[in-house]
């Protein structure tokens, strides 16, 4: 279980109050989305949860243990794939193991890396370089690079925001499948209401800065979900409700 308790963040240098008394819980195996206006502190919250920056007050707990810095049981994926162009897809996937445990340990995990690439539909592309991959394929490699360390929690900061709409839809379905098969716990920042509803078991709506949780919206749509579900009336009702809460959040 991932828990955030009374968390606030102020950037002293420019006196920006980014987050104010955030409290939330992500249960084991749950996929949670968080959405809010630009500048409301979503990415700041994610970086604090990953242990990349410290909070001003409050704390983050994973299975009861405070998150005080980067940890191998927390994986993070950013909007850009950030693959090293001189390394193949397989070598990019193995990079976290190589950095943490050395080249021999990375070589010993090659079979797992190949298995992960197959899981995301990239079997046969192990020796391809990033320049030979499409944007969606590069993001799949980045997903594998995050999964290779077998983290308990996946933190996703707009991982598909730079992709075209059709590729983004396919990647949403792919991410849902991966998280379901691996029973992963995931927390994703997005600006897309439809994406947040499609992927999430629950959705946290944030106010404008300083970011606060306005509402927790349960998503009661059965899984597995195909993107055709976005045309169904109930899906539209949830999207419209979240949009109204975002409008309220702008006023808070």
**Is residue 43 scored above 70 in pLDDT?**
yes
pLDDT at 208: 87
Task: Dump strand ranges (E) for 98-184.
Answer: 153-157
| Statement to judge: residues 165 and 97 lie in one domain | no
pLDDT at 252: 42
β-pair type (153-157, 185-190): parallel
* C-alpha dist (Å) from residue 127 to 92, 108, 141, 167: 10, 17, 12, 22
For residue 37 the two structure tokens come to 């206006």
| Statement to judge: residues 69 and 166 lie in one domain | yes
pLDDT at 196: 93
| Statement to judge: residues 68 and 25 lie in one domain | yes
Last residue of a domain, one of 122, 150, 178: 150
| Statement to judge: residues 52 and 133 lie in one domain | no
pLDDT interval class at 25 (50, 70, 90): very high
**Is residue 163 scored above 80 in pLDDT?**
no
| Statement to judge: residues 137 and 170 lie in one domain | no
Q: In this structure, what CATH number is given to the domain that contains residue 181?
A: 3.40.50.300
pLDDT tens digits, one per residue of 80-109? 788 999 999 999 999 988 888 888 888 888
Rounded mean pLDDT, 161-173: 80
| Statement to judge: residues 166 and 235 lie in one domain | yes
pLDDT tens digits, one per residue of 183-219? 889 999 988 899 999 999 999 999 888 889 989 999 9
**Is residue 250 scored above 80 in pLDDT?**
no
Last residue of a domain, one of 150, 173, 202: 150
What is the length of the chain? Answer: 252
- The reported pTM is 0.85
Q: Tell me what the pLDDT averaged over the chain comes to.
A: 88
**Is residue 251 scored above 70 in pLDDT?**
no
Q: What percentage of the chain has pLDDT greater than the value 90?
A: 48
| Statement to judge: residues 127 and 111 lie in one domain | yes
Rounded mean pLDDT, 115-140: 89
pLDDT at 27: 92
The total number of structural domains in the chain stands at: 2
> Residue 2's beta-bridge partner residues?
26, 62
pLDDT at 31: 94
pLDDT at 242: 92
pLDDT interval class at 248 (50, 70, 90): low
Q: Where are the alpha helices (DSSP H) in 121-192?
A: 135-147, 165-181
Sign of the CA dihedral running 197, 154, 4, 62: positive
| Statement to judge: residues 106 and 165 lie in one domain | no
| Statement to judge: residues 52 and 157 lie in one domain | yes
Element (H, E) at 70: none
| Statement to judge: residues 40 and 156 lie in one domain | yes
Last residue of a domain, one of 117, 150, 183: 150
**Is residue 162 scored above 80 in pLDDT?**
no
| Statement to judge: residues 124 and 213 lie in one domain | no
Domain region containing 130 = 81-150
| Statement to judge: residues 61 and 174 lie in one domain | yes
pLDDT at 168: 81
């Amino acid at each position: 279980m991932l828990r955030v308790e009374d968390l606030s963040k102020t950037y002293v240098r420019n006196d920006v109050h980014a987050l104010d008394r955030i409290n939330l819980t992500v249960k084991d195996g749950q996929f949670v989305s968080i959405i809010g206006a630009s500048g409301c502190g979503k990415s700041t919250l994610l970086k604090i949860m990953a242990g990349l920056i410290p909070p001003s007050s409050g704390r983050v707990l994973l299975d009861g243990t405070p998150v005080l810095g980067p940890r191998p049981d927390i994986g993070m994926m950013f909007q850009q794939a950030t693959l090293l162009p001189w390394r193949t897809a397989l070598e990019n996937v193995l990079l976290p193991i190589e950095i943490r445990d050395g080249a021999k340990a990375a070589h010993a995990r090659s079979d797992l890396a190949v298995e992960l690439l197959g899981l995301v539909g990239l079997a046969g592309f192990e020796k391809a370089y990033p320049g030979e991959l499409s944007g969606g394929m590069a993001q799949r490699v980045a997903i594998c690079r995050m999964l290779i360390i077998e983290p308990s929690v996946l933190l996703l900061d707009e991982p598909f925001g730079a992709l075209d709409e059709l590729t983004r839809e396919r990647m949403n379905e792919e991410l849902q499948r991966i998280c379901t098969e691996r029973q992963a716990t995931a927390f994703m920042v997005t600006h897309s209401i439809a994406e947040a509803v499609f992927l999430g078991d629950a959705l946290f709506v944030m106010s404008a800065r300083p970011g606060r949780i306005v509402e927790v919206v349960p998503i009661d749509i059965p899984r597995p979900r195909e993107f055709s579900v976005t045309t169904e009336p109930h899906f539209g009702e949830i999207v419209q409700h979240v949009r109204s809460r975002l409008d309220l959040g702008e006023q808070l």
